[in-house]
Structures are given as structure tokens and as C-alpha cells.
Structure 1
């Protein structure tokens, strides 16, 4: 009985320690990656503003070929929405809406995740002309984790994972833009 009590108290102490540690871990998640594309800013912006085009370069849109996708509104305009529904655990169910467009400069999105957990985040793409035929594209993500999930995500390396996926998407975008136009 004494051993069982010691084990239980140790487990409770460890759980309490983890919860206390999570209190000090940042809840905000900010990831930003960039790539240089050898195409004029107008061409790049016109391509990336279209939600349907993300199907060919976004890692998340290619994970599950059986994913159901629907679109609402006029693609490439404020208010356009893409919805997805997948049985794949890394994709889940959610939607993305274009919330702001600044021609040849910036697109802001709101991401609404429904499954496997409910959450809202913001994403953006910035296009900057570096010369007449070269564009810097920045893809960013901002979200906030609930306590104590902030610790779980930190331990899982979610920031690095998201960063790698954004960079992979940007590299694919670069290959497509430079190879197909």
C-alpha cells in the first residue's frame, strides 16, 4: 500500500510539474518562410492569390488525395473560401478564407480548423518585387495554443514542422512558377 501511495504521489507530482512548466511556455506560434522566384511580382501574386492553386503547392492540400474540397465565393477575392474534409489525421476538417488582398503585395487568410480540434489561426503571403523579373514570397502563419497544449506542441516541435512544410510549399511554388511559365 505504501508503494502504491508513493507511485501515485510521484505521478501527481510529475503531472503538476508538467502543468506548471506549460504555464511558462509561450502560447503564440509564429512561423515565417521565404523564397525568391524568378518571375515578375504581378505573375506570382496573380497565381498565389487563387485558393485553387494551393492544391498544387501547399503540402497540406497534397497529403490526402481523397480529401474533399469545396469552394465558395469568387476565387482570388476577399471572402473566397476553400473548405476541406479528410479522414487523414494530419489534415482533418476546416476552411480557409481570404480576408485581405493588397494587389501585388499581400494576402491575409483566416484558417478555421474544425477537426481533429477546433482552432483559429491567421496565415499570409507577401510578394515583394526585388527586380523586374524577381519576386520574394513570404509565407507566414500565426496561431495561439491553448494551455497546456502549448507545452505539447513545443515538445512535438510544431514550429519546426510548420516551418518545414511552409518552406517545402514555397520551394514547390518556385519550381512551378519558374518551370511552367
Structure 2
């Protein structure tokens, strides 16, 4: 019994030490990005990302709840184009994403406001660059993290990697068909 209690004590101590180190070592600014080359010209890729409705055709988070309520506002394909989602599922939560900047065939910048399950804000860029006859798509997100979220950063990196990979693969399949 003493051995089991020692093991549990060591595990708890390691978790506490990791949490303290994570809170001190990781900065408050969080950046994640992933890139993929798509075998299509920038203009064809742009058609699938220049509006929120087009973005949601390959957005990996849309599949988290097939019954989530989606509302669109603003003019499609223009600054101010916005969608809001509301899901009873905490994996999808609730919030809004709005286009803040568009550079034709090159860049889309959006701002996300999360309401549920955690309140927060983030910005996201999708940048297109020509690579021969193909297009490199770089998708990034930037946000600030409070100290407790820093503890979860490795898990967040893992989840973001899976989601961005899925989204870029969805976009690739859509554009290359």
C-alpha cells in the first residue's frame, strides 16, 4: 500500500511541477500554423476561402455537430462577411468568425470570438503562395492564453494539428476534384 501511495504522490508532484513550469515557460501569445500544397492555381483555391459560406464547406469544426445553428451576415466575400454558430455540443460550443481583411487571391484574415465552452478571441490567416503550378496554403491562428491554458498547450497543439490537417485535406479534396 505504501508503494502505491508513493507512486501516486510522485505522479501528483510531477503534474504540479509540469503545471508550474508550463505557466512560467510558455509565453501568453499562442501561434499555430500548418501548410499544404494544393495542385491548383491560387484563383481556384481562393474561391473556396473568400467567403464564410465557402470556408464552411471544408471547415473541420462544422462536422462536430450536424445540428448546430449557423447564421450568416454581411456581404459574402467582403470584409464584414460573418457567421455565428451555436451548438448544444461543448466540442463545438458557440461563437462567431468574421472576415477582417481580404487580399484577392492571396490572403484572408478573420477574427474569431468564442463564447462557449470558453470565452476568448483569436485571429486566423489563410495565405496563398504560388509554387509552380500549385498553391501553398498556410493556415494560422493567433491568440493569447491565460496561465491555465498554457498548461494545456501540448494538448492544444495536438488537437490543432489534427483539425488543421483535416481542414486542409478537405480543402485539397474540394479544389482538386
The normalised TM-score by structure 2 is 0.85
Deviation for aligned residue 1:61: 1.3
Aligned-pair RMSD on alpha carbons? 2.0
- Find 1:161's aligned residue among 159, 162, 165: 159
Deviation sequence 1:124-160 (CA, Å, 0-9, x none): 10111223x4111111111111122211x225x1012
SS at 1:173 equivalent: helix
| Structure 2 equivalent of residue 144 of structure 1 | 144
Change (3 A) 1:65 1:52: same
Deviation sequence 1:37-82 (CA, Å, 0-9, x none): 1111112112211211222211111211001000110111111111
Q: Is 1:124 aligned with 2:122?
A: no
**Length, aligned pairs only:** 165
| Structure 2 equivalent of residue 33 of structure 1 | 34
The normalised TM-score by structure 1 is 0.83
Deviation for aligned residue 1:107: 0.6
| Structure 2 equivalent of residue 5 of structure 1 | none
SS at 2:66 equivalent: coil
Cα distance in structure 2, aligned partners of 1:24 and 1:72:
40
Structure 2 residue runs without a partner (length 5+): 1-8
Structure 1 residue runs without a partner (length 5+): 1-9
Change (3 A) 1:147 1:129: same
| Structure 2 equivalent of residue 104 of structure 1 | 105
Deviation for aligned residue 1:27: 2.5
| Structure 2 equivalent of residue 6 of structure 1 | none
Cα distance in structure 2, aligned partners of 1:128 and 1:149:
32
Q: Is 1:42 aligned with 2:43?
A: yes
Deviation for aligned residue 1:89: 1.4
Change (3 A) 1:44 1:19: closer
2:72 and 2:84 in contact (8 A); partners too: yes
Q: Which runs of 4+ in 1 moved over 6 A?
A: none
Cα distance in structure 2, aligned partners of 1:143 and 1:163:
16
